[in-house]
Each structure stands twice: as C-alpha cells, then as structure tokens.
Structure 1
Amino acid sequence: MTRWLAWTTACFISVSSLFCIPLQSSAGEGPNPVAQVERTSLAQAAQDDHVAKPIPDLRSEATLQASINNWRSILAREAGFEAWQSASWNSFPLGPGTHGWGVILTDHGQEVGYMIVYAAENGSFRLNEYGTGAHPLFSLTTLYRSLVQQELIPSTMSYSDFVRNEQITKNRLYMDALTAVWKVAIEGQTYYLDAKTGELLPLKEDPKPKLTEASLQRTDLQGTAITAAAPSFDPYERLPWILGQPLSISKVQEFQTAFKQHNNLTYVTELYGGLVTLPLAIIGYQQWGKNDNYLILDHMGARYVQLEGALAQGRIYK
C-alpha cells in the first residue's frame, strides 16, 4: 500500500496583504541560494492571487520572526533537533484566510526540518506542527523530484527552472496537520500531491479539512519538554488497523497510559472522504508545560502534531 498524507483549501496570499519572511540565519550564514530562488518565485506567484484578509496586526511581522527564532532555539536543544542549532530558515504563506505560514529550516544546504505557524487573535503566534528530517512539509525539492518521477515534468528541467517556471502553479494547501497537499497545475491539468511525501493523490478537487482553525490550541513551547520515545516500525508488517479494533482513547492521559503499556502503536486516519487510509507508526509524544502535547509520528521523518487534534482525527491500534 502507499502512504499518503493531507492538505488544505487555499492559494498563496498576496505579498501586499501578508508577507514572505526573508531567510533568517542564526549562525551567520549567508542566504541559501536555493531558498532564495524559492522565495522569489513564491512572491511573484502570489501577486496574481486573491488578496486575503490581513492578520490582526501587520506589525506582527517582527513578532513572527522573533517567535520562529525562539522556537528554533528551544527545539534545537531537544534530541533529534541537533541540526537546528546552526540552521537558517525561510518562510512562505499557506493561503488566504488561514493566517498561517510554513517554515523550512536548512543547515549547510540540506533541509533539516519545518514548522507550521498560525497567527492568534491577540497578535501573537502559535506553533501548530513541527518536524525533523530531509523531507519537510511543503518542500519544493520533494515536489520537484516527485513530479519528475511521475513524468509530469521532463527530467531535463532543472530544479531552479522548475521553481521559476510561472507556467507551473504550485499552491500549498494546509488546513490541519493531516490535511496538507500540493495543488499543482501543469498544462491545464491539476494534480494533488502529498505535502510530505510528494506522492500523487487520487483527488479531483480541493478536499475539506477535518479540523477547524478554532479547534487548534495556542502553543508556545513553554517550560521544559517531557519526551517519551519508541523505536519506529513498519505499520504494514502487522495489520491490526485492518483486522483489529482500535483502542478506546480520546484524552491525553489515556494515550500516555496506552503508550507506556503497548509497543508498536499505529495511528490511522481516513482522508479525503475515505479515498486514502493513512497508517503511521507512533514513535512518541512530547509535552510542554501542562497543555502543549504533541504526538510524534514517523512519516518520512518525525512529525510532531497536536495530540488532541490527532485523537479527534484518527484512531490508535496496538
């Protein structure tokens, strides 16, 4: 079977309404040329999109940069995030009406992780999702390789030419952690691809999210992280999520108990009206303070998604 993931409704936001944050460097590095190519292309593409309602306070650009730098520094102290210590980052808007941004971190020319950030009503920001590995969410590098492999673009097209090509529209659609896709138009044909793996999805139209923005919690990584980890495994080696019954888990404490009691827990969610079943290995959880809880899933790298939202969207099997 093929693993899939998810997406959201939207096109790029006009740079006159929101903004594409310049590449930041915490280690004195110069701008990454690949990231610069992407940022320029995205800003140009955004100019033709519909203007989104601006975030509550346009002065929050500086606050957004400060928040991202703060989260990067905090997470860089955690196991598995060592590459973030010297990583620089660039950001991109997620779509009209979402008031959200994606962030990709790069260390010595290699992508090493990502964040998904949303604006809060009070002008601050919340960290909705983050992850590590060489396949960050909404990586143009992953998208380019997938389109070449699917023979949707010629292998003779370079990465830089692909990014700059205005005839190929590349929209990042994000509504929640498990509803994130690329919407790509090539020669009049529209394709949807998984925002994490780049796999082609069996979609004909923009799917609807499972969670509303109002259901997302404000998170800021306060306090000391408590992390519980487990080895990864292939959820396709055993199929309890097909033959068995899910555990009765709806609360954070119930999940923590089950994680301690059972090995190889599998998280399963149905996406796009049941067109895709996504099973992922649960490799841990991370808790910040009393209320910031993240489920850690293995999806071509570790993904840290809000635990409460994940429980509402899927089931867990032992």
Structure 2
Amino acid sequence: MKLWTAWTATCFICIGSLLFIPSQSSAGDNPDRTSLVQPVGQPAAVSSQVAETAKPVPDLRSESTLSATVEKWRVALAREEGFHNWQSAAWNSYPLGPGTHGWVVILTDHGEDVGYMIVQSVENGSFRLTEYGTGKHPLFSLTTLYRSMVQQELIPATLTYSDFIANETIAKDRLYMDGFTAVWRIKLDNQLYYVDAKSGEVLPLKDDPTPKLGADDSTLMTTELKEASTIMHPAFDPYERMPWIVGSPLPMTGLSELQSALATDQHLTFVTELYDGQVTLPLAVLGYQSWQDGLPYLVLDHEGPRYIQLPTALAMGHIY
C-alpha cells in the first residue's frame, strides 16, 4: 500500500511525495511460543505465558473466556458474505504490546491466511472486537514481516522463514495503539525498526508511537454479533483521483451520513494522518457492516478488506 509521508513534502502539489512499498503476500503464520491455538470445534486454553504477557486476563472460570468469545465471533462472521472460508478456519492468538491487554487472532484455512481479529479485554472481564479483516494479508502477519525485511535488506535472503521465526536475537514485538497505529517493533543488531503491521512498510519512526485516541470502553464494546447489515462496493485506487489533496472532507458523524454519501458516490476515500503527521494514509472506502444492537464498522481496502469501528475511524480521519 502506498503511504504519503510529510517529510518528503516539497515535490508533489506542494503537499508531499509518494512513498510506495509493494504489497506483500502471506501464506500463513506459524504459531509462536506465545500463541493460543484454536482448532475448529475444540475449546482453547489460555496458556500461562499468554496470561503473563497480556495481563490482566479475565477470570478463566468465566463463560466469557478469550477462546470462547473468539470462537463465537468466528462462527457469527462466517455466516456473512466474504467470510465463507472462516467456516472451517482454525486460529492462533498472539498477545499485543504491553498495556494494550489485547491479542491479534489470525485465522487460517488449509494452511492459508484468511483473516484476523483484534480482541481487547475490558474492565468488566469481557472483550471487545476492536477490528477484523479478511484476505491473505492479515494484520501482524509474520510472513509479511519476513518478506518486507528481506526486501529492505534488513535480513539476508539466505535466512529462511522458519529460521527467521525461530531466531530469538531478532526481537519482534507487536504494538497496537489504536485503529490505525499498529506496528511491529523490531530490534536487530542493536537497531530499532518500526514496520507497518499491515503493509510491511518500514516507517520513519525512532521511538514507539503514541496513540491518537484513548480507550473508551463505553463506546467500543462489541461482545455479541447478531444479524448484520452490510454494504460493499468494489475496491479502487485512491490515487486515481485525489479530492483529499485540495478538497474538503465530507461532514460525517455517524452511519446515516455514511449511508447517504455511499448512495451518492461509490468512490469515497478515507484519509488519516499518522505518527505526528509523518505519514498520510489514504484508503478506499468499500462500505460498512452494521451489527444489530452493536456498532457499525467502516470497511476499508488496506491490503484486503479491513473492518474498523466507525466511531474510531471518524475520530482518527476524514472521508472525501
């Protein structure tokens, strides 16, 4: 995915130049030592290492355990259009960075990645489904990370994928700060690198990024996935026409405005500024998915469909 960076801002329409990293492919992550593994139809237990890494963990005696909740969401989402290969998918769960109390869940079917979920615990002992997505390029894909680091010549091409995963001298930490601040923190040869968790692009960061939004459990709760209303349009290149460069954003505060805008124009673009303005990220708006008695999710094309809670998206960017 292409990203606009503010630090190259003198070359193109006085706004910024374009930094392009080709999309990476993903053929399925191998579970690491901190993963929860969930075969279809079998309950998964939370390992002591996961609990130690991602404290606080809800009471395992509760019916709302991580594994039970994730499995319930998988079954519900598998009924929706575009999620058919989740019906038989197994999943692995990996803890996110310190302080997030969350996990990335990567789903695989017949050895291929088919999607992901970001799950975070909340104070009442339940969980929220912060975001989810489909396709072969899940958030925090180890395969994408490996190929990006080879491409950027940070590791030699002679280092195999399996050896890269097993190599403990390469620190690989997942940092999920908010809906769009998701990065790998890589420590290699006493050097820190930050890699976009979706595209695999090496980012111009020197320190851990800070979130743009604070957590708000009252608005981010999604524990039940009932019937969904979904509108999806075909993907397009947000760089084919760029109203977000010289135009004004649409006034939008919720789902009704989004529905009206999509009925008028199927080529809407979502734009967010990240990392103190160092990166501008434009993404094609594919549509939305609104759950009965739940929150709507904005669907964006970011190396595959990415479902971000609409209140979070509108608080972090604008739609053009």
- Distance in 2 (CA, whole Å) between partners of 1:59 and 1:4 is 47
The corresponding residue for 1:201 is 203
Q: Does structure 2 conserve the Cα–Cα contact (< 8 Å) formed by 1:171 and 1:184? A: yes
The corresponding residue for 1:101 is 103
RMSD value over aligned CA atoms? 2.4
The corresponding residue for 2:160 is 158
Q: Does structure 2 conserve the Cα–Cα contact (< 8 Å) formed by 1:227 and 1:287? A: yes
* Distance verdict in 2 for CA 1:221–1:232, change over 3 Å: farther
The 10-residue stretch of structure 1 (117-126 or 66-75) with the greater mean CA deviation from structure 2: 117-126
The corresponding residue for 1:230 is 233
Of residues 185, 190, 193, the one that matches 2:192 is: 190
> Percent of aligned positions with the same letter in both sequences?
59
Q: Does structure 2 conserve the Cα–Cα contact (< 8 Å) formed by 1:25 and 1:89? A: yes
Measured against aligned partners, the alpha-carbon deviations of 1:61-102 in whole angstroms (never above 9, x if no partner) come to 971101111110111111111111111000011122211111
- 3-state SS in 2 of match to 1:255: helix
Of residues 217, 224, 233, the one that matches 2:220 is: 217
The corresponding residue for 2:132 is 130
The corresponding residue for 1:3 is 3
Q: Does structure 1 conserve the Cα–Cα contact (< 8 Å) formed by 2:76 and 2:225? A: no
Q: Does structure 2 conserve the Cα–Cα contact (< 8 Å) formed by 1:21 and 1:65? A: no
Q: Does structure 1 conserve the Cα–Cα contact (< 8 Å) formed by 2:58 and 2:65? A: no
Q: Does structure 1 conserve the Cα–Cα contact (< 8 Å) formed by 2:4 and 2:281? A: yes
- 3-state SS in 1 of match to 2:130: strand
Q: In structure 1, give the amino acid aligned to 2:317.
A: G
The corresponding residue for 2:311 is 308
Q: Does structure 2 conserve the Cα–Cα contact (< 8 Å) formed by 1:252 and 1:308? A: no
TM norm structure 1: 0.85
Of residues 74, 77, 82, the one that matches 2:79 is: 77
TM norm structure 2: 0.84
Deviation of 1:293 (Å): 0.5
* Distance verdict in 2 for CA 1:103–1:51, change over 3 Å: closer
The corresponding residue for 2:17 is none
Q: Does structure 2 conserve the Cα–Cα contact (< 8 Å) formed by 1:4 and 1:197? A: no
| Structure 2 residue 300 is matched with structure 1 residue 297 | yes
Gaps of 5+ in 2: 6-32
Q: Does structure 2 conserve the Cα–Cα contact (< 8 Å) formed by 1:282 and 1:298? A: yes
Aligned residues: 288
Q: In structure 2, give the amino acid aligned to 1:189.
A: Q
Higher relative contact order (CA 8 A, sep 6+): 1
Deviation of 1:54 (Å): 2.2
- Distance in 2 (CA, whole Å) between partners of 1:84 and 1:210 is 31
Gaps of 5+ in 1: 6-18, 32-39
- 3-state SS in 1 of match to 2:319: strand
- Distance in 2 (CA, whole Å) between partners of 1:4 and 1:191 is 19
Measured against aligned partners, the alpha-carbon deviations of 1:224-278 in whole angstroms (never above 9, x if no partner) come to 1000111110000101010211111122221222122222000000000000000
The 10-residue stretch of structure 1 (129-138 or 285-294) with the greater mean CA deviation from structure 2: 285-294
The corresponding residue for 1:242 is 245
The corresponding residue for 1:282 is 285
Deviation of 1:56 (Å): 4.6
* Distance verdict in 2 for CA 1:142–1:210, change over 3 Å: same
